[in-house]
Chain A
């Protein structure tokens, strides 16, 4: 206590008016550690991306300027992964948002088991991605999977179908899994937005004879627009970044059917040990995301006082 007492009154007295070193001292540990474990490795990634570097042969590390980047743009797998990434985000995010919106509107109503429903619906979001991948592999299993079983009993399909082993369905099967994993996040955020809309708005609109649809369009949607925008941005960034569920479900296959850009970068480093090329792919992907990240940061920046 005595040691802190000698520093603190100094920061205390001057914190309100002029410049004080005290807040910087409080921040130093966290800032230093993140510089060391996040920003230093990132600089290393950029450094690696400019080299021809296969990890078990350190002696062979040669500087090749933008060779890896040029190679990437001429690489067919890069473009397959790129289009897969767009398709995958383009379907997953709207599906999550729509299902999340419906869920939030329902959960915003008053019914006796609402707290229970709200707690249960959020569960998919808390599960380890490996377990999610495991249980959906089991659902999609060609021989004993419950999905084939249900479709068979409903008379939709005559024979079992290998959902994850067929290049035409594998990506869509994963999209369904990710939609399931991510919609609770949307539901939670949109629900918070809904609850911030005063009920008096709806009462006034009902008195004026507004239909349900009109109330939704003119009160609900504008009321949650901010939250919805933030949620969509965040989810897009995270879904784009996430590779664990795909990696465990299909490993990017069959062929390159479920390769996305970050997954390709990871596989390139892990299986081929080609860290130079893998890092270059990761850097390219990060630059593609930068636009979205900047939009999000500028939104947050407005809220910081």
Chain B
């Protein structure tokens, strides 16, 4: 009797509420995916196909043959990789300095990096457009990489600082006693140890750059059109063809979603320590 009560309690008190929240969190995404597998005729006559027998890949085929979706994905990829490289390369040495040295201005500089993520995008996007236009960089990959780096560099600096903080100082000191220089210790001892952190940070930068929309819309154009801008353009052109649109949504969200599942655990612990941009 007691056992049955506690089983009931765990079903109604834990399993069902959690299930409800999971359904709420995933419902819109699953609904989009189901729509993308429904043919246009079926959608208009009977609604979204819930029966796997009625599913079709026709929307995806049309999407890839009729639009430049594949090319847009390549542009997104170039911009995201460029941002990852720029963000990571500048932040490792900075994070090492923040973690290992105490120097005048340290606190101020750390705050400087943190405060960047608090500024409204709109405050940066207008002058960046004016500046890029002056430099003739509008509609190039460089413009988007630079714009994304405004977020990626500070984020990366904070994440790396918290990762390096978790490595005991005695390790670099031991390396230096063995004849390593400071930079040698950073390269040979610290870098290998924080490699998982570097990878997680890199993946996170990749995701945010891949997902970024406003900079891509403002600074991109005909030559460099990323996936997010392409999806938004599709919404304008194919309002009625929800099957095609949702196929674009599923494809556009896929890389980021998969990568995110890969790193989510490490990322959340890093975020709560550093409490940086989300």
Interface positions, chain A 113-129, Cβ under 8 Å from B, are 117, 119-129
Interface residues of B in 29-45 (CB under 8 A from A): 29, 31-32, 35, 43-44
Interface window among A9-17, A69-77, A158-166: A9-17
Q: Identify the stretch in A86-94, A135-143, A167-175, A197-205 within 8 Å (CB) of chain B at 4 or more residues.
A: A135-143
Query: What 8 A-B pairs come out closest when comparing CB atoms?
Result: A126-B260, A8-B181, A44-B127, A128-B211, A23-B101, A26-B97, A41-B127, A30-B94
| CB pairs A–B below 8 angstroms (13 shown) | A4-B184, A12-B176, A15-B100, A27-B93, A128-B210, A131-B253, A135-B32, A138-B246, A188-B271, A189-B272, A234-B275, A243-B121, A278-B122
Q: Note all chain B residues with C-beta closer than 8 A to A42.
A: 119, 123-124, 127
Q: Are A121 and B115 in contact (CB under 8 A)?
A: no
Q: Tell whether A48 pairs with B127 under 8 Å between CB atoms, given A122-B264, A282-B122.
A: yes
> Does B144 count as interface, using CB distance less than 8 angstroms?
no
| B interface residues (Cβ-Cβ under 8 A, vs A) | 10, 14-15, 17-18, 21-22, 24-26, 28-29, 31-32, 35, 43-44, 47-48, 90-91, 93-94, 96-98, 100-101, 103-104, 106-107, 109-116, 118-131, 133, 146-147, 149-150, 153-154, 157, 176, 181-184, 207, 210-211, 213-214, 218, 227-229, 231-232, 235, 242, 245-246, 248-249, 252-253, 256-257, 260-261, 264, 268-269, 271-272, 275, 277-278
Q: Which of B101, B252, B278 contacts A185 (CB 8 A)?
A: B278
- The answer on a CB contact under 8 Å between A130 and B113 is no
Q: Is A31 at the interface (CB under 8 A from chain B)? A: yes
A22 at the interface (CB under 8 A from B): yes
Nearest Cβ on chain A to B114's Cβ, whole angstroms? 6
Residue B228 contacts which of A37, A106, A117, A130 (CB distance < 8 angstroms)? A130
For B176, list chain A residues within 8 Å (CB): 12
Known pairs A8-B183, A111-B10, A126-B207; A279 contacts B127 (CB<8 A): yes
Name the residue on B nearest A43 (C-beta): B127
Q: Does residue A109 face the partner (Cβ distance < 8 Å to B)?
A: yes
Q: CA–CA, A275 to B124, complex, Å?
A: 12
Map CB proximity to B onto A86-107 as digits: 1 under 8 Å, 0 otherwise: 0000000000000100110011
Question: How far is it, in angstroms, between the C-alpha of A128 and the C-alpha of B226 when the chains are bound?
Answer: 12
A144: interface (CB < 8 Å)? yes
Quick one: CB contact mask for A260-279 with B, threshold 8 Å, 1 for yes?
00110110011000010011
Which of chain B's residues has its CB closest to A264's CB? B122
Contact count A vs B, C-beta below 8 Å? 288
Q: Is the CB of B260 within 8 A of A123?
A: yes
Closest CB of chain A to B261's CB: distance in Å? 6
Provided the pairs A123-B29, A131-B231, A192-B268 are in contact, do residues A138 and B126 lie with their beta carbons within 8 angstroms? no
Shortest CB distance B56–A (Å): 18
- Judging by beta carbons under 8 Å apart, are A282 and B256 in contact? no
Given A4-B181, A146-B48, check contact A106 B21 (CB 8 Å): yes
- Is A213 located at the chain interface by the 8 A CB criterion? no
User: Which residues of chain A from 184 to 220 have a CB within 8 Å of any chain B CB?
Assistant: 184-185, 188-189, 192-193
Task: Tell me the nearest residue of chain A to B186, going by C-beta.
Answer: A26
Q: State A117–B17 Cα separation when bound (angstroms).
A: 11
Q: Give, as a whole number of angstroms, the nearest-CB distance from B34 to chain A.
A: 10
A80 at the interface (CB under 8 A from B): no
Q: A131 is contacted by which of B96, B214, B252 (Cβ under 8 Å)?
A: B252
